[in-house]
Each structure stands twice: as C-alpha cells, then as structure tokens.
C-alpha cells in the first residue's frame, strides 16, 4: 500500500497514532530533563484539509471530524486534551481546515531544552516540512531517508526521548525494515521509547511483524491496534497498529480507556475493534 501522509491527513489512523503520540509527549514533559524526538518519516508537518491531496480521499471526515463530534467522558476528554488542543490551535474557532502531522504535534510540546529531528525524503513534502517548521531553533528538518536517520541519530545526546517510525509502506519490505530497524536502533539505545506504526488491511503482514519482533526478545514491547472495519476486504485500509517499546508506565492503562472509545467513534457502521497486548514484558534469556 502507499500511506503517504498528505492523502490520509486526519484519517482514523492519524487520530489513533497522534492521540498516542501526545500521551507519550505528555509523559516526557512530566520530568524536567530534556528529551529529543526523532521523527523518521515526518511528512509535511501541517496539512490543508481543503487541499487536493487531503480532499482526494477526504478521510478526515471519518477521522478527526468524527472524533471532535463524539460524546466523551471526562476521563477520555482529559486523555485526548493534549492532542485536540493542538488541533484547535491550528484552526479558527468552530472550523476544521488544518491538521497537524506528527512534527507539528511534537513542536507544540517542546520546552526550551527539548529537541526534534524531523526527516522526510520526498522532495515536495520535505520542502513543506522545512517551511512549516522554520524559525524554531529547537527543530532540525532533514531531507533524508528515514531509515538512514534511524541509524545516524540514535542515540540522541539527551539520552531521553522517542523515535517515531511510520513509513509510507510503498513497499512490502517496509514491514521487514521495521523489525530490522528497531533491532539495530535498540542495540544502540536500549532505554529509548520507540513507536512503530503499521497499516492493517488483513492479518498476515501485522502477524508476521509481531512474530519477527517477538524473536528480537526486546523487553517492554506493547502492541496496540485499532480497526474500523472487519478485515474481510484486504484491498482497504481497515485498521492500524502501534508497537511501543519502553512505553511510559502510564500508557497501558490509558490505552485501555482510549481504545474502546476510539473504536466506537471511528468504526465504520459500528464495526470498530481494538486490541492491546504485550509482545514481550521481559527480555528473552
């Protein structure tokens, strides 16, 4: 498949990924020590939902728009607040025209001591990324292959932070590269938080990814999945997942609250589903 960020901006997969991202950022900000985020496949940073690419699939109508209109409990509202506050800040009151990609979400949460490296190889998206994030000394944007960046910039000097890996999956080999990339980066930075995003059309590829990551024997590896439709039609994007290494200790309980509500709000025809489990809690002996 081809999960180019601009075509799917604000869709259900973005909502899931970005809600979790902001929970991790909230945790990192809870301690005074500096942190660094390395976004390996950053996209353009900010998206115009009325632009050609976003309107082609208009996925945001079934994603962020539906989320904003859902009835939320006080607890769910509190968990989503760090994410939705950034969305609101980009838009006029009562309107939804712009959507923040992961670099813009991270930027909103950076303190003076924190840093972001945002990498994007595709020329048009890389130019937009540099433009959207320009003028901020805490941020470095690079037109570079994200897989190369994963090797080159890990570990960061802060020794605290997050690596977000969400490639476009233009090639089937990206599933294999996720596992191999994690293995190499984790060897260099075993205490870092890693978030690996992947699409779900059917079960074979996600199951194979989980199997390969289990074989790595990396401790504290949590898997979270959100589906919006049954997996009976593998030609469609029916869900997405996150593999989280060294997640904040608070995140499992937060996801146990958020995932059912996201599935209810974003599922097609009431067919949403979710899963949350540990691929490994302890390191393999």
C-alpha 64/C-alpha 50 separation (Å) is 14
Across 187-217, b (16+ Cβ under 10 Å) vs e yields eebeebbbbbbbbbbeeebbeebbebbeebe
- In the set 85, 166, 172, 277, the catalytic residue is 166
* Global confidence as pTM: 0.95
* pLDDT mean values, one per 10 residues, the chain (285 residues): 69 97 97 97 94 79 94 95 97 92 97 98 95 97 93 94 92 87 96 97 94 96 97 91 98 98 93 95 68
pLDDT at residue 284, as a whole number: 58
What pLDDT does residue 7 have? 76
Cβ burial of 119 (10 Å; 0-12, 13-18, 19+) is buried
Two tokens, residue 79: 């968990």
Q: What are 244's two structure tokens? A: 């989280």
Q: Which of 228, 229, 225, 210 is nearest to 259 (CA)?
A: 225
Q: Which residues pair with 36 in a beta bridge?
A: 115, 161
Token pair in block for residue 38: 């390395």
**Would you call 145 a catalytic residue per the annotation?**
no
Spelled out in words, what is the top-level CATH class assigned to the domain 5-238+247-280? alpha beta
Nearest-5° Cα angle at 164, 159 to 167: 145
Q: How far apart are CA 103 and CA 139, in angstroms?
A: 9
Contact of 237 with 225, CB cutoff 8 Å: no
Query: Would you call 192 helix, strand, or coil by DSSP?
Result: coil
C-alpha distance across the termini of the chain, in Å: 36
* Domain range summary for the chain, segments of one domain joined by +: 5-238+247-280
CA nearest neighbour of 181 among 207, 216, 221:
216
Q: Helices H, strands E: what count in the chain? A: 10, 10
Of 144, 138, 146, whose CA–CA distance to 116 is shortest?
Answer: 138
Bridge partners of 274?
Answer: 226
Q: What are the E-state strand segments in the chain?
A: 36-39, 46-48, 98-100, 115-119, 139-142, 161-165, 193-200, 221-227, 239-245, 273-280
Find residue 161's DSSP bridge partners.
36
State the Rg of the chain over Cα: 17
Decide if 98 contacts 91 (C-beta within 8 A): yes
């Amino acid at each position: 498949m081809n999960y180019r960020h601009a075509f799917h901006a604000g869709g259900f997969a973005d909502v899931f990924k970005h809600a979790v991202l902001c929970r991790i950022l909230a945790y990192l900000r809870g301690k005074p020590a500096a942190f660094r985020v390395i976004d390996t496949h950053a996209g353009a940073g900010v998206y115009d939902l009325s632009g050609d690419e976003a309107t082609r699939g208009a996925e945001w109508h079934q994603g962020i728009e539906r989320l904003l209109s859902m009835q939320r409990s006080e607890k769910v509202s509190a968990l989503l607040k760090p994410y939705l506050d950034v969305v609101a800040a980009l838009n006029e009151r009562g309107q939804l025209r712009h959507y923040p990609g992961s670099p813009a979400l991270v930027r909103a949460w950076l303190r003076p001591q924190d840093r972001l490296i945002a990498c994007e190889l595709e020329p048009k998206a890389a130019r937009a990324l540099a433009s959207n994030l320009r003028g901020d000394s805490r941020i470095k944007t690079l037109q570079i292959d994200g897989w190369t960046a994963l090797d080159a910039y890990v570990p960061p000097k802060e020794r605290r932070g997050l690596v977000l890996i969400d490639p476009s999956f233009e090639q089937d080999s990206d599933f294999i590269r996720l596992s191999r990339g994690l293995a190499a980066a984790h060897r260099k930075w075993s205490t870092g938080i890693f978030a690996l995003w992947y699409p779900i059309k059917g079960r074979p590829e996600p199951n194979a990814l989980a199997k390969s990551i289990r074989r790595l024997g990396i401790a504290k590896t949590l898997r979270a999945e959100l589906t919006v439709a049954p997996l009976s039609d593998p030609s469609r994007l029916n869900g997405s997942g996150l593999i989280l290494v060294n997640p904040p200790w608070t995140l499992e309980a937060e996801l146990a609250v958020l995932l059912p509500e996201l599935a209810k709000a974003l599922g097609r025809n009431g067919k949403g589903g979710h899963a949350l489990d540990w691929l490994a809690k302890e390191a393999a002996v």
